Amino acid sequence: MTTTDGSSSASRRRHIVRLALFVAFMLGLFYVVAVARIVDVDEVRRAVSATGPAAPLIFVVVSALLGALFVPGPILAAGSGVLFGPVVGTFVTLGATVGTATVASLVGRRAGRESARELLGARRSDRIDAQIERRGLWAVVVQRFIPGISDALASYAFGAFGVPLWQMAIGAFIGSVPRAFVYTALGSSIGDLSSPLAYTAIAVWCASAVVGAFAAHHGYRHWRNSRTGERDAPENAEPEGEPGN
């Protein structure tokens, strides 16, 4: 028994250290790239522009990788608007956004899923898997509507919790449409922020933020009520094999 308990404790510590190192690496990367801004997005934009007709496709790939490295999405989207205009630029931004979600989710799943499941335990992990199966897609969509949350960081977390890749890709595409248009349109209107396109972009941003806040609140209330029901269920349930009177 002592040997088994000691082995279990050592395994748990190993998973805790693994997750802590992964989180520390992500936070360090976030600071270096998103806060210290060691990546010159303007230089990247100029280099992509020099590639000619292949520029949109190259920008999708480069922007997807930079997004996964925590280069702020709005800056990348604005660069897309400057290079390609509001229409083509929006589709380029969406492609890059889906690419970032896919890359970050794969890394998060690879680096953190096993440890997260081990620390949560089989019962909680199975419950989370059931929730993801029913609502994982819409969780990704709603997250994209909520301002102030790093999409890359959320994608790493979704991957660590086991959100399937198809849910990440489709959810990122659906949920990112409003903001992709907003930031791309603002980037293409950078020379005239009083244009109708800029005002339309701001209106869309405000509307999507309100929708995101409402959806997040509704989702939290639903989760809290389901948790309350799960806690009450064992107390009210009749023992198996004994019919009620």
- Look at residue 242 and tell me if it is in a domain: no
Structure tokens, 208: 């999507």
- Look at residue 236 and tell me if it is in a domain: no
- Look at residue 237 and tell me if it is in a domain: no
Domain that holds residue 141: 2-231
- Residue 120 to residues 18, 158, 160, 168, 194: CA-CA distances in angstroms? 14, 15, 12, 22, 51
pTM as predicted: 0.78
Amino acid at 180: A
Model pLDDT for residues 161-198, shown as the tens digit of each residue? 888 899 999 999 999 999 999 999 999 888 777 788 88
Model pLDDT for residues 80-137, shown as the tens digit of each residue? 999 999 999 999 999 999 999 999 999 888 877 776 676 666 677 677 667 777 778 8
Place of tokens 């389901």: 226
Domain count, the chain: 1
Model pLDDT for residues 3-49, shown as the tens digit of each residue? 555 566 767 777 777 778 777 877 887 777 777 778 788 888 889 98
Amino acid at 75: I
> What's the rounded Cα separation, in Å, for the pair 203 and 205?
5
- Look at residue 208 and tell me if it is in a domain: yes
231 pLDDT above the threshold of 70: no
